[in-house]
Every structure is written in C-alpha cells, then in structure tokens.
Amino acid sequence: MNEPILRVTELNKKFGEHHVLKGIDFSVEQGERVAIIGGSGSGKSTFLRCLNFMEMPSSGTVSLDGKEIGKPAGKNGERRYPESELCLVRERVGMVFQQFNLFPHMTVLENAMEGLLTVKGMKKEAARDLAVKELDKVGLADKHDAYPGRLSGGQQQRVAIARSLAMEPEILLFDEPTSSLDPELVGEVLVVIRKLAEEGRTMLLVTHELGFAYHFATKVIFLADGVFHEVGTPAEVLKNPKQERTRAFLNRFTEFAF
C-alpha cells in the first residue's frame, strides 16, 4: 500500500489551557483535495498551521511521505523541531494566507522570486524564469514590476499563490484565501485554485465558500470542538450530513446552493 503523502497522528494543540485540537488522526493521499469547514474559532486555521509548523503541535506527529517531523523530546509526546528541518518541510508544504502576506518592499516578480533566491539558492535568471511562469499561470504577466500595495486584493492573492507555487511544493495549504476579498474579486482567485486542482495537486483548503468546496474537494472535513466531526466526500458531508451538528452548521448558510 502507498504511504500517504501527509499523515497526522494524535495531533493536539493547546494555547495555554485552551485545548483547540483534540487528538486528530488524519491522512492525505497524493492528489487529494481536502476542504475544511467549521464554525469561527473551531480551530481550522490552527489545524492547517500545524501542518507546516506555523504553529507547533502540543503533542502528536506530522509525517511527510512516511517520515515523522521532529524528534521526540521529554515525556507527554513533546517533540523538538530543529529550524533546519522545519524549513525543509515548509519548502515542501506551501501556504497561502487570508491576508496574502506579500512583501510590500518587493515587486510582484521579486516576491515570486524571493523563495527561489534565498531559500533554494537559485541563480537570478533561473529564478526569474520560474517566477515568470507561475505569474503567467495566475494571470499576472503584465504586473511584474508593480508593488503589491498598488494591486487589488484579488491580484495580491494571486501573487501570493504564484510565490508559493514557484517553490514547487508537494502540498499546498490555503487558509480562507478569499475571505478578505471584496465579493467581486473572489471569482478570479477561485479560478486559479480550480486550475491547480485540475493539475492534480495535493491541496488542503479552509473555506467558507461551500459551493466552491463542493466542486473543488475530493474530501470534506467538518471540524467542531477540536475534532473532525464528520469526514466524507463533498456529497456525503455537504448534501447528506450524518451528524446533527454538521446539518445545523450547514443550515446557517441559508443562501447556500450547489
């Protein structure tokens, strides 16, 4: 049997006394697209951020290609994560943020080249070629020399996607990539994400766009109370939820239609 590309075992995350993720077990196969839904504050971002170690898990393990990240240290399942190892993980697991987090002092092209130059140590020309290719893909071929501050939110988010793609990550994490966009700009970003889906990329997406999740995902997770309350195909979770809790959550999206 194939090793899943990503596996999470007994994942717990606490912020002080606040137990946000409670022993999550989960794995993602190559090419799977996972949509994560759930109420505000349910821990969707925290879960995603544990996967590329923007947050450090309190206990439990994250494995890439069957290899556990970090080393055991002390009791209670605590682990130690050397910076060098985390940097390698983050090269392989890209992330796109709700607030874009572009580098405002760099042009669009420089943003897309930055990881290649600094992290991968590539030569300028090679980095430029790759960055240009990814900017073409997100439809920003004409904005290379613009600074992020001059772009619309939708354009900025597409730059952020290109910046992440340029690193050629094996897994892409999206944390509500359209939530801070004006409604008329949501579409252009979703189009790009759908294109990535068609390429067969492995992706995890936290979203409130249930319609998009339905068409995008191969698997949907409803996260509540720090556990995966319901996991299944989009049709199972979004159309015929088994759990009362999931149904109640979905009912709150009154205008939700497939």
Partner 1 sequence: MSYQWDFSGVWSRWDILAVGLLNTIKIAAVSIVLGIVVGLVLAFLKLSPKKYLSAPATAFIEFYRNTPPIIHFFWFYYALPVLANISLDPFVAAVLALSTQSGAFYAEVFRGGIVSIEKGQWEGGRSLGMRHSQLMRRIILPQAMTRMFAPFVERSFELTKTTALASTLAYADLLYQAMRVNSETFRPLEVYTTIALMYVVLLVTASTLSRIAEARLTAYR
Ligand X SMILES: Nc1ncnc2c1ncn2[C@@H]1O[C@H](COP(=O)(O)OP(=O)(O)OP(=O)(O)O)[C@@H](O)[C@H]1O
Stretch that binds Mg ion, among 43-51, 69-77, 123-131, 191-199 (CB under 5 A): 43-51
Site residue total, Mg ion (CB under 5 A): 1
- Residue 198: C-alpha distances to residues 5, 105, 170, 218, 256 (Å): 19, 33, 15, 12, 24
Minimum CB distance to partner 1, residue 48 (Å): 11
* Cβ nearer to ligand X, comparing 61 with 180: 180
* Cα–Cα distance measured from residue 139 to residue 45, given in angstroms and rounded to the nearest whole number: 27
Exposed / middle / buried, residue 180 (Cβ in 10 Å: 0-12, 13-18, 19+): middle
Nearest C-alpha neighbor of 81 from the set 64, 105, 98: 64
Nearest C-alpha neighbor of 58 from the set 8, 11, 7: 11
User: Does residue 97 belong to the site contacting partner 1 (CB under 8 A)?
Assistant: yes
User: Does residue 13 belong to the site contacting partner 1 (CB under 8 A)?
Assistant: no
Q: Which two tokens stand for residue 69?
A: 């990240």
111-170 residues near partner 1, rule: CB under 8 A? 114-115, 118-119, 147, 149, 160, 163-164, 167
User: Does residue 40 belong to the site contacting ligand X (CB under 6 A)?
Assistant: yes
- Backbone φ and ψ for 140, nearest 5 degrees, come out as -125, 35
Q: Are 206 and 48 in contact (CB under 8 A)?
A: yes
Which residue in 45, 111, 156, 178 binds Mg ion (CB under 5 A)?
A: 45
Q: Count of CB atoms within 10 A of residue 248's CB?
A: 12
User: Does residue 179 belong to the site contacting partner 1 (CB under 8 A)?
Assistant: no
Which residue in 56, 88, 197, 227 binds partner 1 (CB under 8 A)?
A: 88
Q: Give the helix ranges, DSSP H, for 167-200.
A: 183-198
Quick one: what does residue 76 bind among Mg ion, ligand X, partner 1, none, with the CB cut-off 5 to 8 Å set by partner type?
none
Quick one: what does residue 118 bind among ligand X, Mg ion, partner 1, none, with the CB cut-off 5 to 8 Å set by partner type?
partner 1
Point out which residues bind partner 1 (CB under 8 A). Answer: 52, 54, 83-84, 87-91, 94-95, 97, 99-106, 114-115, 118-119, 147, 149, 160, 163-164, 167
Point out which residues bind ligand X (CB under 6 A). Answer: 15, 18, 20, 38, 40-46
